[in-house]
Amino acid sequence: MKTTKRTRAYDWDNPEDTAITARHLKGIDFLTGILKGEIPAPPVAQTLDFQPVAVEEGNILFKFTPAEFHYNPIGSVHGGVISTLMDTVTGCAVHSMLPKNKAYTTLELKVNFIKAVTMKSGEMYAEGRLIHLGKSTALAEAYLKNADGTLYAYATSTCMILEF
């Protein structure tokens, strides 16, 4: 079987510098800085081509357009890419409510894949919403839909709250 090779190249900023910036800002201010381009997006968002669209306290909206570099061997977007997007928006929903010197990490992520995502799906939107923020844990949910509002995936996430 003969295939045509494709190439993709991009640059990213030092994520350690961004992490230091995050420690000194409220979560909403940090995420707003990324949205406005004042703070560099993390390398994973650049690698997978996710972009924030809207940032509010407890609510986050990202977009991504399925491309060949997202594909698995059977011709659809790899579940790991979708899981990473869902982890991103649930985590950002939590982060948007955190004060300075607080962070989070994912304890559990549950993703339900409803419909296969392909390039034919068009531009996709992942919305993350905070459900509960406690002293040590938080709960968030996410929806992945196309521009027509068709649901492709649903996720819930439990995060642990950390202190820097």
Domain limits of the chain?
15-163
Please tell me the distance from the alpha carbon of residue 53 to that of residue 58, in angstroms, as a whole number. 14
The overall average pLDDT reported for the chain is 96
Closest among 122, 164, 126, 119 to 143, alpha carbons compared: 126
The rounded Cα 140 to chain-centroid distance in angstroms is 12
Tell me yes or no: is domain 15-163 CATH 3.10.129.10.
yes
Please tell me the distance from the alpha carbon of residue 138 to that of residue 134, in angstroms, as a whole number. 6
Which pTM was predicted?
Answer: 0.95
If you average pLDDT over residues 134-163, what whole number do you get? 97
If you average pLDDT over residues 38-47, what whole number do you get? 95
CB 30 within 8 A of CB 39: yes
If you average pLDDT over residues 37-65, what whole number do you get? 96
Please check the confidence at residue 155 and state whether its pLDDT lies above 90. Answer: yes
